[in-house]
Each structure stands twice: as C-alpha cells, then as structure tokens.
Amino acid sequence: MIITIIVAVLMAIMGVLILIGKGDNLIAGYNTASEEERAKYNIKRLRYLIGGFLVVFAPTMVILLGQETMAAAGYFMALTMVMCIVVIFLANTWAKKKG
C-alpha cells in the first residue's frame, strides 16, 4: 500500500508539473520529437490531456489498489486499459493541430 501511495503522489506531482507548463519533457514521445513533429501538436491541449490524466488517475489507483482484492485489481487493469486507449486516441486527434 505504501508503494502505491508513493507512485500515486509522484504521478500527481508530474501531472501538476505538466499542467502548469513546466513538465513538457515528461510527456513520452514529445520530448524526443523533432521540431517539425512538435509543431504538429497543440501543446496546451496535450498538456491538459496528459496532465489531467495523471492527476485523475493517481487517486483512482490508490482507491482501487488500496482495497487489495482481486476484483479491485481487475477493475484497475480494465480501467487502465480503457483510459490509455482514450488518451492515445485524443492525443492523436484532439491535441493535433488542424491542417
């Protein structure tokens, strides 16, 4: 449980850093992309999406994994997969610049 809380706190801190604009290098793929690849994305939307995901996901992780039951672990894995698919989809549609 202690490790879960530590990981959740770190995720929340990273999410806040991304949301306030100080953690662009924490966004996987964006930090290693070329300038022309970075120009394809609306960084404000990408920050909102990734930072918001981390801030929302951190307490969810503590709540579900804190129960220490197999059912809660299953719900956590299913929720994680769904949220990751949604974030990937939105990062490649909503967070991209038009044209």
Confidence category of residue 99, pLDDT binned at 50, 70, 90: low
Residue 62 contacts residue 5 (beta carbons within 8 Å) = yes
Q: Domain count of the chain?
A: 1
Answer positive or negative: Cα dihedral of 22, 27, 32, 34.
Answer: negative
Please check whether residue 61 lies inside any domain of the structure: yes
CA proximity to 60, closest of 48, 72, 51, 47: 72
User: What range defines the domain where residue 70 resides?
Assistant: 2-92
The reply to whether 22 falls in a domain is yes
Residue 97 maps to a domain: no
pLDDT band per the 50, 70, 90 thresholds, residue 19: very high
**From CA 98, how far away is CA 41, in angstroms rounded?**
9
pLDDT in tens, 38-97: 999 999 999 999 999 999 999 999 988 888 889 988 999 999 999 999 999 999 999 999
DSSP structural state of residue 22: S
Is 65 part of any domain? yes
Number of H helices, E strands in the chain: 4, 0
Q: What is the pTM of this model?
A: 0.87
